[in-house]
Amino acid sequence: MTQVAEKPTVFAHALEKRPTGGPRWLDDLRGRGAARFAALGVPTHRDEEWRFTNVTALNSIDFVPAGQISGAAERLNGFAYTDAPVRLVVVNGRFDTTLSRVKGLPAGVQAGSLAVALKDHADVVQRYFGQIADFTTRSFTALNTAFVQDGAFVYLPDGAIVDTPIHIVFVSGADAATVMAHPRTLVVAGANAQAKVIESYIGIAGEAYFNNAVSEVFVGENAGIDHYKVQQESLDAYHIASLYAHTSRNSRFSSHSFTLGGRVVRNDADAILDGEGGDCTLNGLYLADRERLVDNHTTIDHAKPHCGSHEVYKGILGGTARAVFNGKIIVRQDAQKTDAKQTNRALLLTDGATINTKPQLEIFADDVKCTHGAAIGQLDDDAIFYLRARGLSYAEARDMLIHAFAGQVLDGVKVEPLRVALEAELFDQLAKDLAEVDSKK
């Protein structure tokens, strides 16, 4: 097999027909994104950041840009917290006004379509959009940038406290052709503002599509954003998503990422702690089963002193699934008194499941506290025996330990109905995986 540098093949054609219009700066940005993607192409295993995750098949799938789909309203049914009182629904990358509901938000808070915001809040969007989403070195962010058209926009003016969680639901699907969508999210929180923002990605089993999402979150001075990402894509979907967060002085950002769906999944989460006294939590829980691939790449960049970061990623692997975890922590020379903690754990339920895990610390300051730890393995036999010695069956003991394992991330969800729904969904899916494990014994 010859190894020629992959050129964007099917994408080249699509890029020619990329969306145009809107403000001039946006058109320029799309052009720059397209040019960068043309140069970068779809990453291959020769790219260190993609060593274990092969997405080159994307080059040969004849994706068509996603359009409308039938029964969008029904497609929301059965997914976690889609009955949220405040919800923004984005269908195949396009904001859906009829399915969205944004009543009752405090004055000055904007939540709605990104395409509309490009017109109505052009100054805010221009100031922030594309400022931290790295389209120069990240292929898929470049691709998303080339196709920017719509998505969700959330803006909190200084001092705005939003109690009701804002749930952005990205519905993807295809009636016939294999489609791709490039939804975009921009969240801007002014000084002292606070909100909970949930991004859900949902799709119906059996439908094949490629979802390439990019989100940018800016947290103003002394503001706090609790971000949740819930991924329940079709089990035949490619899901590639990049989250970029930026914190300011004394601001707080937390993100909890839950991966339950998708055939090939890549989550990039990048946080820059760019103001003194900032705090960042990046937690994740993923279920990789069947023949699925789940790759989480995180980067926490401590750019300023006195910031804390906390990271816990946990995976449950079954079937012949593969998982990748790469956690990078950068501590810049200026970032003295950094306190960074990273934990990565994976539970292997079968012999066929594999994980590649790599912590990466790049520390340029000398007065810092950085710890990381990884643990991969099976359930603790001693714990199983202890529980059984108290009368719990093997299955009960095992379930209790798996629940406890997942609980450490699930318990961080501050939106109660979301946590309950996620827990139910996770354990429902796990029950099926475990039944399969048992049937092979």
Partner 1 sequence: MSMLEIKNLQVKAEGKEILKGIDLRVNAGEVHAIMGPNGSGKSTLARALSGHPEYEVTSGEVLFEGKDLLDLDPDERAREGVFMAFQYPVEIAGVNNAYFLKAAVNAKRKHYGQPELDAMEFMQLVTEKAKLLDIDKSMLSRAVNEGFSGGEKKRNEIFQMALLEPKLAILDETDSGLDIDALKLVAAGVNAMRSPDRAFVVVTHYQRLLTYIVPDFVHVLSGGRIVKSGGKELALELEAKGYGWIDAA
Nearer to partner 1, 62 or 380 (CB): 380
- Among 290, 367, 393, 424, indicate the residue that binds partner 1 (CB under 8 A): 393
Residue-wise DSSP of 333-395: TT-TT-EEEEEEEEEE-SSS-EEEEEEEEEE--SS-EEEEEEEEE---HHHHHHHHTTT--HH
State in angstroms the smallest separation of the CB of 392 from partner 1: 5
Report if residue 379 touches partner 1, rule: CB under 8 A: no
**According to CB under 8 A, which one of 66, 181, 307, 387 is a site residue for partner 1?**
387
Two tokens, residue 167: 């749930």
Question: Does residue 380 interact with partner 1 by CB under 8 A?
Answer: yes
Indicate which single residue of 72, 361, 376, 392 sits in contact with partner 1 (rule: CB under 8 A): 392
Tell me if 386 contacts partner 1 by CB under 8 A.
yes
Among positions 381, 439, 440, 441, the unique one binding partner 1 when judged by CB under 8 A = 381
Q: Burial, 70: exposed, middle or buried (Cβ in 10 Å; 0-12, 13-18, 19+)?
A: exposed
72 contributes a contact to partner 1 by CB under 8 A: no
Among 388, 423, 427, 429, binds partner 1 (CB under 8 A): 388
Q: Is 22 helix (H, G, I), strand (E, B) or coil?
A: coil
The enclosing H or E element of 156 equals strand 151-156
Q: Which pairs count as long-range contacts for 51-55, CB under 8 Å and 24+ apart, including other chains?
A: 51/356, 52/295, 52/322, 52/324, 52/356, 53/264, 53/266, 53/293, 53/295, 53/324, 55/238, 55/240, 55/264, 55/266
Decide: is 407 part of the binding site for partner 1 (CB under 8 A): yes
Q: How far is the CB of 403 from partner 1 (least distance, A)?
A: 8
Judged by CB under 8 A, which of 397, 415, 426, 434 binds partner 1?
A: 397
CB of 335 or CB of 409, closer to partner 1: 409
Contacting residue, 72, 124, 361, 401, with partner 1 by CB under 8 A: 401
C-beta closer to partner 1: residue 364 or 386 = 386
Q: Which is nearer to partner 1, 249 or 403 (CB)?
A: 403
Which residue, among 362, 352, 297, has the nearest Cα to 332 in the 3D structure?
A: 362
Which residue do the tokens 């960068």 mark? 36
Q: Residues touching partner 1: how many (CB under 8 A)?
A: 23
Query: Does the footprint of partner 1 cover residue 420 (CB under 8 A)?
Result: no
Tokens 């007065």 -> residue? 367
* Among residues 2, 4, 98, 390, the one that binds partner 1 under rule CB under 8 A: 390
The piece of 246-254, 322-330, 405-413, 420-428 that touches partner 1 (CB under 8 A) is: 405-413
Backbone Cα Rg of the chain: 21
Integer Cα distance of 208 and 238 in angstroms: 8
Minimum CB separation of residue 397 from partner 1 in Å reads 8
Closest CA to 314 of 292, 347, 290, 285: 285
Q: Does 377 participate in binding partner 1 (rule CB under 8 A)?
A: no
What is the spatial distance between Cα 269 and Cα 175, in angstroms, rounded to a whole number? Answer: 31
**CA pair distance 42, 269, nearest whole angstrom:** 19
Write out the H or E segment, with its range, that includes residue 125: helix 122-128
Answer yes or no whether residue 408 interacts with partner 1 by CB under 8 A: yes
Task: Name which of 1 and 389 has its Cβ closer to partner 1.
Answer: 389
| Residue 85 binds to partner 1 (criterion: CB under 8 A) | no
**Residue 375 CB, nearest distance to partner 1 (Å)?**
11
- Select 364 or 385, whichever has its Cβ closest to partner 1: 385
| Binding flag, residue 334, partner 1 (CB under 8 A) | no
Q: Is 242 exposed, middle or buried (0-12, 13-18, 19+ CB in 10 A)?
A: buried
Task: Tell whether residue 348 is a contact of partner 1 (CB under 8 A).
Answer: no
Residue 406's Cβ-count burial label (10 Å; 0-12, 13-18, 19+) is buried
Q: How many CB atoms lie within 10 A of CB 370?
A: 18
Q: What are the residues binding partner 1 (CB under 8 A)?
A: 380-383, 385-394, 396-397, 400-401, 403-405, 407-408
